[in-house]
Amino acid sequence: MHKRVVIFGFSSRGIQTGEQIIQAAQEAGSSVSAHAPARLAVSGWKSFSTLAEEMENLILHTDAFVFVGAAGIAVRAVAPFVKSKLRDPAVIVVDEQGQFVIPLLSGHVGGANELARLIAGKISAVPVITTATDLKDVFSVDTFARQQHLAIVEKDEIKHLSGALLEGEPIGALTPECGFLISPDPVGQPFAHTLHLVPQDLIIGMGCRKGVSEEELYRFVSSVFEENRWSLYRIRTVASIDVKREEAGLITLAERLGVPFLTFPAKALSDQKGCFEASGFVKETVGVENVCERSALCAAVSEGWLPEGSRFEDFCLLPKQKGEGMTMSVIALCQTSSKKFI
């Protein structure tokens, strides 16, 4: 389910419906924040002056948006931030009376259809699902990829697989025409239209000096991955310390890689278990002696991908690497000694 859900309400009735949605999302394990115009001054809801400004502040850190109000409001709010069906957050509209729940964007990869059904079930509304594979109840390869944390390499091949399924044709090993291949290395073409799905099993932790460009960071990460013969598609998230939350280079690096950028306070990093490379300078500057190694582990543990108490050395695939004003480390979501995936 979605980790971070934002709910917008625009009227008193919409707020009432929104309260039911908050409860539904929280029961599903999501972290929920509710937002309403300052004129409503609702207890427990964060107030905002303009929706456009609020969206700009939230867009990079939100998995799903739920607008309780007119569909037009949602469309205009998200329009400046829409990029692609594989990168957009889930966007859902619920009328203020709570009669209909409509996923507008990212029904499959973003999980909007799944969330819409959950909300509709909790508030006794009708989920209005419009994606063809859902309507015909056929397998959706992009939904499968999201649920299994698989990166989609050849995005244009999705339409060939979905088209074949919608026409009742077989895919995969049953036909030479089209299919998908799950592998850490996106190579090989067993089908005329091959869609490679890469397990997103690596977390990179990063530290950098202020002002390092996205291009420098990308070259650094790419060179390390190329040297180790790892695909960049295996990256699940980029992590760092919260003082780097607004670091433009790191933000745009994560966007370029198509993954979330997560940051954590020094205390959360300090709480991580294991043996880390220490730096007195880093400790004096940000309050913790290591950023890249600790943030990688912290992201995996805080997001529930690794169990609490996991030790860095058990999951370390690559310890601290140094570039010009940059550091990075890589952990795997498996025990590196046994390669047993979590």
Q: What is the C-alpha separation between 180 and 170, in angstroms, rounded?
A: 12
pLDDT given at position 307: 92
pLDDT given at position 151: 81
* Of 118, 146, 149, the residue nearest 27 (C-alpha): 118
> 6 - beta bridge partners?
33, 65
Q: What is the C-alpha separation between 162 and 333, in angstroms, rounded?
A: 30
Q: Does residue 94 sit in helix, strand or coil?
A: strand
pLDDT given at position 91: 95
Q: What is the C-alpha separation between 243 and 90, in angstroms, rounded?
A: 28
DSSP 8-state secondary structure symbol assigned to residue 172? G
Per the CB < 8 A criterion, the answer to whether 204 and 328 are in contact is yes
* Of 278, 276, 230, 284, the residue nearest 257 (C-alpha): 230
Q: Are strands 193-199 and 316-323 parallel, antiparallel or unpaired?
A: unpaired
């913790």: which residue's tokens?
A: 288
Q: Provide DSSP, 2-38.
A: -SEEEEEE-SHHHHHHHHHHHHHHHHTT-EEEEEEET
- In one letter, which amino acid is 39? R
Alpha-carbon distances, residue 272 vs 4, 136, 291, 316 (angstroms): 22, 47, 11, 13
Helix (H) or strand (E) holding 193: strand 193-199
> 205 - beta bridge partners?
239, 329
Per the CB < 8 A criterion, the answer to whether 316 and 336 are in contact is yes
Residue ranges of the alpha helices (H) in the chain?
12-27, 51-58, 71-78, 112-123, 132-135, 141-147, 158-166, 214-227, 248-257, 266-270, 280-286, 292-302, 312-315
**pLDDT tens digits in sequence order for the chain, 342 residues long:** 567 899 999 999 999 999 999 998 888 888 899 999 999 878 889 999 999 999 999 988 888 999 999 999 999 999 999 888 778 899 999 999 999 999 999 888 888 898 999 999 999 999 999 887 776 777 777 778 877 788 888 877 888 888 887 777 777 755 667 888 888 888 888 888 888 989 999 999 999 999 999 999 999 999 999 999 999 999 999 999 999 999 999 999 999 999 999 999 999 999 999 999 999 899 998 999 999 999 999 999 999 999 999 999 999 999 999 999 999 999 999 765 544 444
- In one letter, which amino acid is 305? W
pLDDT given at position 2: 67
pLDDT given at position 106: 86
Mark 199-228 as b/e (b = at least 16 C-beta within 10 Å).
bbbbbbbbbbeeebebebbbebbeebbeee
